Amino acid sequence: MPDIELQRLRKLRARAEDLLSTLISDLEPFQARDRRCGFRRTPEAKITPRGDINVTTTCSCLMGLAHAGKIGQFYGTESEQIVQDIVANMMKAPWQSSGLKPNNAFTTALVIRLCGSLAKSKYLPTGKLRKLTKSWKLDADPKSARKKTLEGIARYLSKEQDRFRINNYPPAAAVVYWFVDGVDHSGFDLGDEWKVLCKYATEEFRRQRSLVVAKHTAMMDPVAMAMAACLCARLRSVNKRRASSENDQRPEDLPSMIELERAVVDLFAEQTPTGLWSKYFPIFHYNEAGSNYCYTFELLEAIILEFGENDNHILLEESVIAGLEKAVVSCEANRLECSGPKDGIASNPQVRFNGWNSGGNFKTLRRGEPESWATAVVHMFLRALIDVLSRHIQQRLLKQYDARTHHHKSKGLSGLLDINVRMSAKETSLRAVLESRFVDTFSAFSGEKAEALLNSPMKKKPLSALLFGPPGTSKTEVAKALAASLQWPLVEIDPSRFLQNSFQNIYVQAETIFKDVMDLYGAVVLFDELDALVQSRDGIAAPDIESTFLTTYMLPKLAKLHDQGRLIFLMATNFQEKFDDAIKRAGRFDVLLCMGPPTLEEKCSSLHVFLGDGKQTKTGGNLLLKYAQSDARVADQLSLYTYGEFLSFISRLGNAGNIRARMKAKGPEGIRRLVQTDSRSVGLRLEDLDALNTPEYKGTWTPGKWNTLNDLYAAQFYERKIAKVMGQLTSAVKYVIERKKSKYQI
- Assess contact for 691 and 697: CB atoms under 8 A: yes
Q: Could you give the CA distance from residue 162 to residue 154 in angstroms, rounded to a whole number?
A: 14
CA-wise closest residue to 115 among 75, 151, 142: 151
359-373, 431-445, 686-700: which has the minimum mean pLDDT?
Answer: 359-373
The confidence score (pLDDT) of residue 641 equals: 96
Residue 538 has pLDDT above 90, yes or no: no
- 697, 703, 705, 706 alpha-carbon torsion, rounded to 10°: -120
The confidence score (pLDDT) of residue 251 equals: 47
The confidence score (pLDDT) of residue 136 equals: 85
39-43, 559-563, 664-668: which has the minimum mean pLDDT?
Answer: 39-43
The confidence score (pLDDT) of residue 639 equals: 97
- Assess contact for 196 and 160: CB atoms under 8 A: yes
User: β-pairing, 524-528 with 490-493?
Assistant: parallel
Whether the full predicted model's pTM is greater than 0.85, yes or no, is yes
CATH superfamily, with its number, for domain 403-596: P-loop containing nucleotide triphosphate hydrolases (3.40.50.300)
The confidence score (pLDDT) of residue 344 equals: 63
Q: What is the mean pLDDT of the chain?
A: 90
- Assess contact for 542 and 535: CB atoms under 8 A: yes
In this prediction, residues 728-736 reach a mean pLDDT of: 93
The confidence score (pLDDT) of residue 541 equals: 47
Q: What is the pLDDT of residues 231-245, one digit of tens each?
A: 999 999 999 888 876
In this prediction, residues 654-679 reach a mean pLDDT of: 94
Q: Report domain extents, the chain.
A: 403-596, 600-677+685-741
Mind giving me the DSSP string for 367-398? Answer: TT--BHHHHHHHHHHHHHHHHHHHHHHHHHHH
The confidence score (pLDDT) of residue 90 equals: 93
- Assess contact for 44 and 90: CB atoms under 8 A: no
The confidence score (pLDDT) of residue 542 equals: 45
In this prediction, residues 141-157 reach a mean pLDDT of: 87
Confidence of residue 739 (pLDDT cuts 50, 70, 90): very high
The confidence score (pLDDT) of residue 241 equals: 87
Confidence of residue 159 (pLDDT cuts 50, 70, 90): very high
Confidence of residue 219 (pLDDT cuts 50, 70, 90): very high
Residue 61 has pLDDT above 70, yes or no: yes
- Assess contact for 624 and 671: CB atoms under 8 A: yes
Confidence of residue 365 (pLDDT cuts 50, 70, 90): confident
In this prediction, residues 97-126 reach a mean pLDDT of: 92
CB atoms within 10 A of CB 661: 13
Phi, psi torsion values for 651, nearest 5 degrees? -70, -30
- Assess contact for 722 and 738: CB atoms under 8 A: no
In this prediction, residues 529-535 reach a mean pLDDT of: 66
